[in-house]
Amino acid sequence: MQVLSWPQFDQAVQLLASRFADSAVTGVYGVPRGGLCLAVALSHAIARPLLSSPEQSALIVDDVYETGRTLQALKAQVPDATFAVWVSKGCPDWWTAAVVVESSQWLVFPWENLDQARADEQAYRTSRGLG
């Protein structure tokens, strides 16, 4: 289990903000639940509105790209949107990542409760037969 910190979050926001500040994105949408903190921070950092739903010209963000299911589904809905994550567990292709890791470790983000994260990891592993 890897516990991420608020200073690491701030660094990721700065990196992503520098990447998208001059882009044509018209707003920022955060995938509930993990992408919301990142979306709010980026919305302020690049002076774009926080969106309540994904749009074609939006920057759509999430906390982690792990299996790709979440962002791939959104990409199918809004193919012209721009996508970014704090942490990518694989080499980014059509999305941008502040950090790329080659680890299968469970990530605990600063806004998460550590005890609940342990329970979430166990439930995830059980649901996929990983014990």
Residue 85's pLDDT is what? 98
The domain defined by 2-127 folds into Rossmann fold (3.40.50)
Q: Is the pLDDT of residue 130 over 80?
A: no
Does residue 8 have a pLDDT over 70? yes
Q: Residue 48 is encoded by which pair of tokens? A: 């774009």
- Residue-level pLDDT at 131: 67
**Helix (H) and strand (E) counts in the chain:** 4, 6
Q: Where are the beta strands (DSSP E) in 15-111?
A: 28-30, 59-65, 82-88, 96-100, 107-108
Which residue ranges make up each domain of the chain?
2-127
How does pLDDT run across 36-60, given as a tens digit for each residue? 999 999 999 999 999 999 999 999 9
pTM higher than the cut 0.75:
yes
